[in-house]
Amino acid sequence: MSTVHLDPPIKRRVAEPVLAVLAVALMVTVVTEPVTLFETTFDSLWLPITILVSGLLALSVLIGVLTHGIRLGSAVLGSGTRSQPGDTAVSRILASVVLGVFALFSLWWAVATLFVHYLVDTGGVSPSIWALLFGGVLGTLVLLRTAFFQLFPEGPLARLRCRSLK
């Protein structure tokens, strides 16, 4: 029987930071409100782009959080060799929880925006700003997580333990 490794696919590892940069750029663009930008054809496209980028980023992060949870459960139960170095680090567990919460909020608002704009005939304020803001915050956190775990793949405490052993 072969062992199953739940490494993030190369496409998701590349797509997640790209989506994060797009989400942050969209948030900054909309918050600073350049009038000339919204008077062009972008005016009719920004809502679907915002929803799509925020929703896809949230889905990608949730998939990563779920696979980390499966690997962590596998390591705790000792059933298989699915775990990767640093899976049980407190910093990685905390990052998964925080990113999972923001991804759920971002996905919730992306779905709510889709529902309000395309499925029901309602008036009032559009919830798209919340999908945009949570997507931008999620994008920022994803970029910070990517940089942090490039520096500390097994967590910062592992690096301190290695120095104390030498």
Query: Does this model's pTM top 0.85?
Result: no
Q: What is the pLDDT of residue 2?
A: 46
Q: By the 8 A CB rule, do 67 and 8 touch?
A: yes
Q: Using one digit for the tens of pLDDT, what is the confidence trace for 106-151? A: 999 999 888 887 777 666 667 778 888 999 999 999 999 888 888 8
Q: Using one digit for the tens of pLDDT, what is the confidence trace for 3-50? A: 444 455 566 678 889 999 999 988 888 788 766 555 665 567 777 888
Domain ranges in the chain are 14-34+42-164
Q: What is the pLDDT of residue 137?
A: 93
Q: What is the pLDDT of residue 57?
A: 93
pLDDT band of 70, cuts 50, 70, 90: confident
State the sign of the Cα–Cα–Cα–Cα dihedral 145, 151, 153, 156.
Answer: negative
